[in-house]
Amino acid sequence: MDSSIKALHKNIAEWMAGPTGAVILHVSLILALLFLVDFSTTPDDPTIEFKYVKADMPPLDPDPPPLLKPLDNIDLPPEITPPDVNLADVPTPPETVDFTPPSPAAEFPALALDPAISVVIIEGLRPGAMGDRVGDENRKRAGLTHGGEWGAVAEAAVLRALEWLRVNQNPDGSWGTSDREAMAGLGILTYLAHGETTASEKYGETVTRAIQYLVARQNEAGEFAKTDTTAGTYSQAICVYALSEAYGMTRIPSLKPAMEKGAEVLIQGQQANGGFDYRFEKGARRDTSLGGWCSQALKAAFIAGAENPRLKTAMDLAVADMKSVQKADGSFYYSHVGASHSTHGITAVAVLSMQLLGHGREKPVQGGLDFLRDATCDWKNPPDWPMYAWYYIAQTKFHQGGASWTGWNNRFAPQFIRNQNPDGSWSSAGLSLKAGATGRENMHPVYATTMAALTLQVYYRFLPTYQPIEEQAVDQKSDDDVKVQIL
């Protein structure tokens, strides 16, 4: 380096060290830093935009569209043989049911809505354990992952069932001709399991009217039906289950108090040892079947954010109750110890309850799953209450995973798909072969249809992994803004 360049460097260094250079240097650094700073505010909570639009419930179409046929609009994978169905032998329920609205009981006056239930559209809210429900691509992926070759065919069957339910909904939002509250609850659960909410383009009206019906049927005590009857007790649990999922997926503000009031009826109706009995009686008898619905309802209320003070305690007690009625072979009693039979269906009720409530890896659950190894799904040789039993067995094996789930999926999926009625509904398995409990199960085509659809929705209805109950509450905060439209 020559002397002139060295002199230049020396002069620049002396200038930078001087007062003028120091000021310019600091100003330059400050300007550089300003380019790196983002002055936009970051709120602690998601931004919520409210848009109020007057609710306008369109009237029902006077002439419902024709129902879909089971195999007309579906491309079966080449490795699946279509069922050999003689349509003349298939019992076909009527396309519509009795549309006469029920006479509201004096004990259940219609609650005033403002002026109608809010319709909430939410974008960007993480659905937690229900993530696979939302969006066609999520359901398709889950169906392929967990359903294998049967996933896409099962989804087509579910779509036909949703359409049958839409056409056969009563004008007041319920379904069927009796036990309408329970049927409305099952209908809501079926749509929500498919990611259909009040905001859905095709089924939003159907879901909204069903939710309106249940909210209007709830009395001041929180009951959706008279709980001094056996049917009313089951209806209470199913309705709480449905409204809890509805609130969890939509965040409609008016649903939270209805959910919590309904859940409180279950909590107050629970026995000291954690069991539930018909009419919420507090005697020696307890009932595994009713306890299963109550467990599902309590868990749904918990993850939706219900703030009942004793909710978590009630869930813990329900687990203790189920454990108390397990037999040495791993099965569970239907009612109290030594006084009733044990079946695959009832055992699956107890196992699923404990899986949902965060105890899926414990020894009693493993014993129950071992007992369920030889459970079968044969439409022509079904157990009593087959739709009910298979609904629970499918879920327990799905959460168990592995070879147990793969084997069951290959047994139950083709049976359900190939025995769907031409109009999109289902009749209870074995209905024409035996009377008794199986016949009673088909009092409502709605019951058989919703239970069958919910069973086929097992692929995406819940994530197949359950952690301890404390980790399951859905965090309603999101990194993205939450946009809400209230209609």
326 strand-pairing partners: 332
In a domain, 38, yes or no: no
Per-residue pLDDT of the chain in tens (487 residues, 90 and over written 9): 555 555 555 555 555 556 655 556 565 656 555 555 444 444 444 444 434 333 343 333 333 333 333 334 434 344 444 344 333 333 333 333 332 333 333 333 333 333 344 444 434 344 456 767 877 777 887 777 787 888 889 999 999 999 999 999 999 999 998 899 999 999 999 999 999 999 999 999 999 999 999 999 999 999 999 999 999 999 999 999 999 999 999 999 999 999 999 999 999 999 999 999 999 999 999 999 999 999 999 999 999 999 999 999 999 999 999 999 999 999 999 998 776 678 999 999 999 999 999 998 899 999 999 999 999 999 989 988 899 999 999 999 999 999 999 999 999 999 999 999 999 999 988 665 444 444 455 557 999 999 999 999 998 888 764 333 343 444 444 444 444 443 3
Single out the residue of 139, 346, 135, 120 nearest to residue 251, CA to CA.
120
Domain hosting residue 233, numbered range:
48-59+93-486
Residue 121 host element (H or E): strand 120-123
Backbone angles phi, psi at 332, to 5 degrees: -125, 145
- Strand partners for 122: 484
**What is the CB neighbour count within 10 angstroms for residue 406?**
13
- pLDDT tens digits for range 231-251: 999 999 999 999 999 999 999
Classify residue 154 by burial, with Cβ atoms within 10 Å: 0-12, 13-18, 19+. Answer: buried
pLDDT for 185 equals 98
| Amino acid symbol at 349 | V
Q: What are the φ/ψ torsions at residue 136 (nearest 5 degrees)?
A: -60, -40
Alpha carbons 69 and 74: distance in angstroms, whole number:
9
Distances (CA, A) of 72 to 95, 136, 414, 417, 419: 17, 21, 17, 13, 15
Residue 233 to residue 268: CA distance in whole angstroms: 12
CA separation for the pair 376, 64 (Å, rounded)? 38
Q: Is the Cα dihedral 249, 250, 252, 255 positive or negative?
A: negative
Return the structure tokens found at 486.
């209230």
What is the spatial distance between Cα 340 and Cα 277, in angstroms, rounded to a whole number? Answer: 14
d(CA 474, CA 247): 12
SS3 (DSSP) at 96:
coil
pLDDT at residue 483, as a whole number = 44
Query: Scanning the structure block, which residue is given the tokens 């056409």?
Result: 167
DSSP 402-452: HHHHHHHHHHHHHHHHHT--TTS----TTTTT--THHHHHTT-HHHHHHHH
Q: What is the pLDDT of residue 130?
A: 73
- Helix, coil or strand: residue 291: helix
Q: Are 297 and 243 in contact (CB under 8 A)?
A: no
Number of helices (H) and strands (E), helices first, in the chain?
A: 17, 3
146, 178 Cβ separation under 8 angstroms? no
Write down the pLDDT at residue 460. 84
Is 15 inside any structural domain? no
Q: In this structure, what token pair is assigned to residue 404?
A: 């147990």
Q: Does some domain include residue 148? A: yes
Contacts of 169 by beta carbon, 8 Å cutoff, 6+ apart: 175, 187, 206, 209, 210
Q: Residue 362 falls within a domain, yes or no?
A: yes
Q: What's the domain count of the chain? A: 1
CB burial of residue 35 (10 Å; 0-12, 13-18, 19+) = exposed
**90: exposed, middle or buried (Cβ count in 10 Å: 0-12, 13-18, 19+):** middle
Q: Establish if 32 belongs to a structural domain.
A: no
Hey, what are 370's tokens?
Answer: 């071992």
Query: Within a domain: residue 37?
Result: no
Q: Are strands 120-123 and 482-486 parallel, antiparallel or unpaired?
A: antiparallel
The CATH code of the domain that includes 190 is 1.50.10.20
Establish if 9 belongs to a structural domain.
Answer: no
Provide the token pair at 307: 């703030």
The backbone torsions φ and ψ at residue 18, rounded to the nearest 5 degrees and listed phi first, read -80, 175
Kindly state the DSSP code that residue 470 receives in the 8-state scheme.
G
Give the β-pairing of 482-486 and 48-52.
parallel
Is 282 inside any structural domain?
Answer: yes
Q: In 3D, which of 62, 188, 146 has the Cα closest to residue 464?
A: 146
For residue 471, what is the DSSP state? Answer: G
Residue 204 tokens, joined: 């939003």
Q: In what order do the strands lie in the sheet with 48-52?
A: 48-52, 482-486, 120-123
